[in-house]
Chain A
Amino acid sequence: MITFILRRLLMLVPVLVGLTVIMFAIARLLPGDPVGLAAGPNATAAERAALAAEFGLDRPVWEQYGTYVAGLVQGDFATSLLTRRPVAADLAAYLPATLELVLAAMLLAVGLGIPLGLLTALWRNRWPDYLSQVLAIGAISMPRFFLGLLLQLCFAMWLNWLPLAGRLPIIVFPPDPITGFITIDAALTGQWDVLRTALLHLLMPALALSLSPLATIMRMMRSSTIEVMGQDYVMTARALGLPRHLILTRTIARNAVSATLTVIGLYFGWLLGGTVLVETVFDWPGLGLYATKAILSQDMMPVIGVALVIGLLFVFANLLIDLAYGLINPKVRYS
């Protein structure tokens, strides 16, 4: 298993190389004038040239690429052309917010989607099943930003139960970063008030983000459960008179979850790159907003940095999923 993990980690190298090459190529192929934009309308030609030289943009592309990769190896993600801040500092500030949101959404999606999928399979072709089907279609097809706005309207404006936006009220400062996740850091440092406030802020955006994966996971779980329920070993277990709850949890659920795991892994990556609308609606200071702003101003270093980080996380998430297969089903062998 160790060799499996090592081999998978080694495979990261070509993935990262590929990502940087593609992103660099895109950055160069795009029409536009990032230097002119960053230098401003009052810059002289000489100043534009100086700015390009400062950021190495006057060099051949392969040389720029070499410099970038050399920096990357040392953890330097280069500097934003527009804000002149190191991209690594920005990533450190924005990534935890996005990760916290995505993980909370996945937690909701998995935590609710799997049991609901099981239940609807058991109630197959009865009204709860039909109801869940309708709701699932609604959840998948409703745009997330719209759902976010509806939630805001309902829970923040009318009912006034939840805060409108942000990670914390502006007068509450987050705990010292240990993980960068406000909730976890608050729990670790025992600041329960902060934890509670942070969770309340997290609830709506996480819900808005989670509904579509929740519905997919639920439907996946339902169909694989139904499939497993027809298998011979389930019949055997029943014939042997094993208690119903044991058959359900040990035999059926375990086998049905494996198929759903793949979807969970894919969704994780998809959510990481797809939070931007929810982040905008809820003023969540995350990667999506950061990347969008950079893309719109053709500030390519932050864009490449974000793509790399998301690519990396995606690969890691899928590695974890692969490992989880083995935990759930010991018959899975890593090779």
Chain B
Amino acid sequence: MTQRRGRKAPRSFPRHGVRHVTHAFNISRRGLLAMAGAGLASATLPAALFAQQGRNILIIASGQDIPNFDPHVASGYSASFLMRNVYDPLVRVAGESAEPVPGLAQSWENSEDGLVWTFQLNPDAVFHSGAPVTAADVVYSFERALRLAKGNSWMIRGIVQPGQIEAVDDHTVRFTLDAPFAAFLAVMPWIFVAEQAQVEANLGEDDGQTWLMSNEAGSGPFTVERFQVGTMYYLARAENAWQPEGGNLDGVIWQIVRETATQRLMLQRGEAHVAVDLTSEDMDALEGAPGVVRVIEPEYRTFSIKMNTAQGPMADVNLRRAISHAVDYEAILASAGYAELMTGPLPNGIFGFDPDLDVPRQDLDKAREYLAQTEWAEGGLTLRMVHVSGLEQQRRWSLILLDNLRALNIGLEIQPLNWPDMVAACASPETFPDLFPVYQTANYGDPDNIAYAAYHSSRNGGWSNAVYANPEVDALIEAGRVETDPEKRAAIYLEFQKAVVADAPDIFGVLENRKLGLREAVQGYRFTPVASNAIEAWPLSL
């Protein structure tokens, strides 16, 4: 419930779109006057005011609004932030290697054949309503996610079928899969559990979607206390927060700050404790800033240039290889700010990643050798590259390529497009340009995620892999999915990486580092290379 405890009945949401509450957060009149009055400097320093009151409220500055709270509908990192703090998944992800740690489930086991997963729920787990979290709620939530087929449900689609999720007893859930799925624990943190009774009481005509859009039925450590669309979301520590350990936060504020420079300024002035959308320039400016800690960590987020492997000149693998060897990777890296070069298709450091993979680096002799094997031995063709208009980094990459390809006597026509037009261009090989730069964020910390999204032919037509299709690679990706023995699985991904590099479907670019700014006062923070901007607040202290 978003309603403040002890207040009158909930205001219906669509009427105003904003839930307004009359008073400030129990701030004394003097406090407010201090802010509004002569000492105007303090008008923008809420963090200091909270501290004066002895309340530990973490303020996170982010550029993204949270338009929808429904855990089975919403997507995007801001929604993930809300879900990770207000709801509980069976398993959470933590630590630098993105390990599964207990969430609602205190323990789990997988059968020998990898088909049956059994989760033991923590008997302490309770929803914000006070009702205990039962296996039936878990079954209901997974089935609702699959039924609605929105949000994160694609992660379990085709892997978990409705009817194959059973509540064995009140605190035991059993999933019976048709085939083993190695990334099963890695996707679990992104399917959240809602209270069946609450959702069913507000079902409406759309499976509770209207109600859950602006209300919650979770068991997470925080509740949605108040919010103003487009401005801020205040999560208060749940009175019956059952999660073990945890920090001393009384609440978390997700404040919408659209300009990254403003986020930086707020961090410097102590107006925000965390800024999540900082650019490389902001990070440079924050170097040595008193009281600020910079977090610059590699995350499983790739940035590559896809080539049209199916249509036009780029369908010739030797031309793709020639171009891959013509690119100045150091220039690509230098223009990417805080980043590291990719070695092949998988993000550096992820399970199965091969750091010794032999990938193309700039070598014009080799490039000319490959070019000689094409019908354009002397060059003399012009390729088309698109990029998202307004994305400076993509524009710079286009210019680097323009310069590099000139050495092979290949021209480059650069066309900035809006993102929706770029997506539309992916619909068929005929409309897909020769070169297409794209970011790919890992939604869960497993190689299957990027491998499937970026190289499996079933994704053809979508922007993550518009045209590339190789049955051998498909087979390897599928084998990697179902192999549960880690050693054998790692071997499959080694083979996969080699096969993809041989096909040269992409100019493998960079892993852009995640750039967060924290105040020194924030304690207990540990970086996790998946969705690290959707901050999990429970372990933190001020």
Q: Does A115 contact B (CB under 8 A)?
A: no
Find out whether the CB atom of B149 lies under 8 angstroms from the CB atom of A50. yes
- Known interface pairs A177-B18, A200-B43. Does A172 touch B265 (Cβ–Cβ under 8 Å)? no
The yes or no answer to A113 lying at the interface (CB within 8 A) is no
Nearest A residue to B253, CB-CB: A170
A283 touches B256 (CB 8 A): yes
Given contacts A170-B231, A174-B228, A283-B258, 5 further A-B contacts (CB under 8 A): A33-B427, A83-B68, A93-B228, A177-B16, A200-B36
Instruction: Evaluate contact between A173 and B257: CB separation under 8 angstroms.
Output: no
Of residues 14 through 67 on chain A, the ones whose CB sits less than 8 Å from some CB of chain B are 31-34, 36-37, 40-45, 47, 50
Binding site for A on B (CB under 8 A): 13-18, 20-25, 27, 29, 32-33, 35-37, 40-41, 43-44, 46, 49-50, 59, 67-68, 70, 73, 75, 149, 154-155, 157, 209, 213, 226, 228-232, 253, 255-259, 262, 265-266, 418-421, 423-424, 426-427, 453, 458-459, 461-464
Q: A170-B232, A200-B36, A290-B230 are in contact. Are A36 and B423 (CB under 8 A)?
A: yes
CB within 8 Å for A196 and B420 given contacts A36-B462, A41-B453, A41-B462? no
Please determine whether B20 and A83 come into contact, CB atoms closer than 8 angstroms.
no
A273 at the A/B interface (Cβ < 8 Å)? no
CA distance A92 to B40 in the complex (A): 31
B35 contacts which chain A residues (CB < 8 A)? 169, 172, 197
Measured CB to CB, the closest approach of chain B to A55, in angstroms, equals: 12
Give me the 4 closest cross-chain CB pairs, A-B, nearest first: A285-B230, A93-B17, A83-B67, A32-B420
- Provide the residues of chain A in CB contact with B461, threshold 8 Å: 45
A200-B40, A285-B231 known; A32 vs B13 contact (CB < 8 Å): no
Q: Which of A85, A194, A281 has the most CB of B within 10 A?
A: A85
Q: A291-314, CB under 8 A of B: which get 1 and which 0?
A: 000001110000000000000000
CB neighbours of A165 from chain B (8 A) = 257, 262
A297, B232: Cα distance in complex, Å: 22
Docked Cα-Cα span, A237 to B420, in Å, equals 65
Among A97, A163, A173, A290, contact of B21 (Cβ-Cβ < 8 Å): A173
| Complex contact B421–A162 (CB within 8 A) | no
The prevalent SS among residues of A at the interface is loop
List of B residues within 8 angstroms of A36 by Cβ: 423-424, 426-427, 462-463
How many chain-A residues does the 8 Å CB contact rule pick out?
63
State the Cβ distance, B373 to closest chain A Cβ, in Å. 33
User: A181 at interface (Cβ–Cβ under 8 A)?
Assistant: no
Question: How far, in whole Å, are A289 and B230 apart by their CA atoms in the complex?
Answer: 9
Interface centre among B423, B426, B464 (most CB of A within 10 A): B423
CB of A164 closer than 8 Å to a CB of B = yes
Q: Is the CB of B258 within 8 A of A171?
A: no
- Chain A residues whose CB sits within 8 angstroms of the CB of B266 once the complex forms: 164
User: Which of these, B41, B424, B459, contacts A31 with CB under 8 Å?
Assistant: B424
Distance (Å) between the CB of B24 and the closest chain A CB?
5
Question: With contacts A36-B462, A171-B25, A200-B43 known, is A93 near B75, CB below 8 A?
Answer: no
A88–B16 Cα distance when bound, in Å, is 9
